[in-house]
Amino acid sequence: MARLTAHTRRIVMAAAAAVVMTGGVAAAVFLGSDTSADGPGPALAHSSVTHASDDKPGGKPSHPVGDDSAPDGSDGSRDATGPAAPAGVTGISETIDHATESGGKSVSITIDDGPSPVWTPKILDVLKRYGVKATFCMIGPQAKANPAMVKRVVAAGHRLCDHTVSHDEAMNKKPVPYQSTEVLDAQKMIEQAAGGGAKVQYFRAPGGAFTPDNRHIAAGHGMRPLGWNVDTKDWKQPGTATIVNTVKQELKNGPIVLFHDGGGDRAQTVAALKELLPWLAQQGYTFSFPAV
């Protein structure tokens, strides 16, 4: 089992817990007000997000990525009775993506755990200032609760990524039907919030909890499994300088950089992006979406 730290996002506010029921899976959602450097923000729904231990050298999950043993103890064969792929979805790789579309000296900015009505707009403003397109890995209930933010992300030309319904970092140890529900219900929530026929192009398992089955399910529904190479650990709020230095030191690991816009106060993330985006351009990097 992936070890969970005692850290839980500082988003559990003083309000009653509500439960979002989606396809038979319960996702705990806490209602409260987000606080920012600018003062209290509007009331919003936050998913209860926890993160696994940090023993992920090079941004790789602590459990083996691509391990062919199934989480339910079976022989790893895929569930033939699972949801059928929609018509017209072909050619999506099941391998975990650690590359950019353009290749060369390029990076991909990826942003997890939102959308947040407080922090997503601030991050969108920074991205716009520097002409950078990013990939937003959204939690299903967060997207459902904040459709205006999903639409704004799409309208700005960014891409969408499925980050599951309940951010369960142990989903790789759960039965295949559970994994399928986590992936496909979130995809539906995000696409319905986006409207206009927008599609989710990637799937990122929380904490890197990929399995052959959830990768197969995602790819069969048009979503490339998306990993990362640089883990900023910004969710721990280590300080802006630490986030910036982590990116500079770990870029040698590869081009996919992981930030967060949800799950708590993201002022340090916003400040770090303001420093890093122009610095990356000065170093000769271009910005690209992850490969599909």
Which of these is catalytic: 51, 167, 216, 260?
Answer: 260
Distance CA 109, CA 117 (A): 20
Residue pair 71/175 in contact (Cβ under 8 Å)? The answer is: yes
Which of these is catalytic: 112, 162, 213, 234?
Answer: 112
Burial of 7 (0-12, 13-18, 19+ CB in 10 A): middle
Is 260 a known active-site residue? yes
**Positions marked active-site:** 112, 260
